[in-house]
Structure 1
Amino acid sequence: MSGLVIAPLSREHALEICTWQYAAPYSSYDMTGADPDRLLDPASGFHAVLRGRELVGFRSYGEDGRVPGWEYDDHALDTGGGLRPSLTGQGLGPVAIAAGLAHGRAAFAPPAFRVTVASFNARALRVVERLGFSRVGRFSSTYDGKDFEVLVRPEA
């Protein structure tokens, strides 16, 4: 499945993302509490993942990809994202993340990418490891005590 494009996030996209709810155990990724204006703020780093005109997910670059409790540095660009709940588990994740990495590489030219993934999320961990990320640490969030894995993929 290809043909995904990373594009600026529109207000319509942000409002739609703020309705997304996921089935357990992924409900910690629910976007229903998100503020659309924060998603639209360029400093938040959010972008739409589109298939044609259809919003299939989002990617973010920078602070949004960080979870309180890890000692982040500027040696890698943090990136995160999500898929529309009805599209999870269908093999779209690797393509969406790869498209996001290509966009991030072109826009920011980072020396490395870093992702922070909830430890329980074996599906996401498997995807990012297949895309060349390696685990560099594990920590408990100071926000909610949940465990997270930090993975890095050098670009050089």
Structure 2
Amino acid sequence: MNFQLRPMTEEDARQLCEWRYPAPYDRYGWPSWEQMVRDGREFADPEIRASQYVSAIRESGEMAAYVQFFPLDRAVRIGLGLRPDLCGAGLGLGLVRSAVQEAKRRYPDHEIDLEVETWNRRAIKTYERAGFAVEDEYDRPSPNGIVRVLCMVWLPARTDGNGAQA
């Protein structure tokens, strides 16, 4: 399944702050909307929301996920979040493929990468199926303390060019 990506609205952003994941994925939840606004954090900042975030919409018209496109020097780092009740339902690969397509459109000359915590085998497997490969492993600070992450890079040679594994 592919998703329609559209600019994230403030209402979409508010909804994200209400998503609650079961353990151990609960670390991926966002603070309350009020706290996000107070801190000027991520998608609560209208400029960051407009330049980096999109909502992923299902055929039914409901928001199912979000994608962030964070520009780096020669790469664009994608971040993804699937609505908690849709996790484990086989939608991740379609979301990642949609994100890769949009990243290629926005940043055609940039490498596409992402970070994923090393314990999240479910996400790592999905990213590998979408054509990503581990490039590096390191520790980085997060709201949950220091976490061990993999940096995975999208390799077009491992896919059909559309994000589908060749």
TM-score category (smaller protein):
0.7 to 0.9
Q: Does 1:39 align with 2:43?
A: yes
Q: Which residue of 2 aligns with 1:79?
A: 78
Residue 33 (structure 1) shift: 4.4
RMSD: 2.0
Is the CA contact 1:113–1:155 (under 8 Å) kept in the aligned structure 2? Answer: no
Q: Distance in 1 between matches of 2:24 and 2:75?
A: 29
- How far does the alpha carbon of each residue in 1:54-77 deviate from its partner, in whole angstroms, 9 at most, with x for none? 0000000006xxxxxxxxx62321
Task: Find the structure with the greater CA-based Rg.
Answer: 2
Alpha-carbon spacing, 1:24–1:110, altered in 2? closer, same or farther (3 Å)? farther
Match of 2:15 in 1: 16
Q: Do the aligned residues in 1 keep the contact of 2:6 with 2:56 (CA within 8 Å)?
A: yes
Say yes or no: does 1:114 pair with 2:123.
no
Identify the range of structure 1 (14-23 vs 146-155) with the bigger mean alpha-carbon deviation: 146-155
In the alignment, the residues of structure 1 paired with residue 47 and residue 62 of structure 2 have an alpha-carbon distance, to the nearest angstrom, of: 21
1:3-152 matched pairs, under 5 angstroms: 3-33=2-32, 35=36, 38-40=42-44, 41-44=46-49, 45-52=52-59, 53-62=61-70, 74-143=73-142, 144-152=145-153
User: In structure 2, how many angstroms separate the alpha carbons of the residues matched to 1:3 and 1:105?
Assistant: 15
TM-fit CA distance, 1:100: 1.1
Partner SS for 1:127: helix
Residues 138 and 3 (structure 1 numbering): CA distance in 2 closer, same or farther, change over 3 Å?
Answer: closer
The runs of at least 4 aligned residues of structure 1 exceeding 3 Å deviation read none
Change (3 A) 1:42 1:104: farther
Query: TM-score under structure 2 normalisation?
Result: 0.80
Q: Is the 8 A contact 1:61 1:77 kept in 2?
A: yes
Q: Deviation string for 1:6-41 (max 9, x for gaps)? A: 100011101101111111111110123462664153
Spell out, residue by residue over 1:104-143, the C-alpha distance to the aligned partner (whole angstroms, 9 max, x if none): 1112214311110011100000011111111011111234
Structure-1-length-normalised TM-score = 0.84
* Number of aligned residue pairs: 146
| Identity across matched positions, percent | 23
- Find the aligned partners of 1:21 and 1:110 in 2 and give their Cα distance: 36
Measure, in 2, the Cα distance between the counterparts of 1:42 and 1:60.
13
Structure 1 unaligned segments of length 5 or more: list them: 64-72
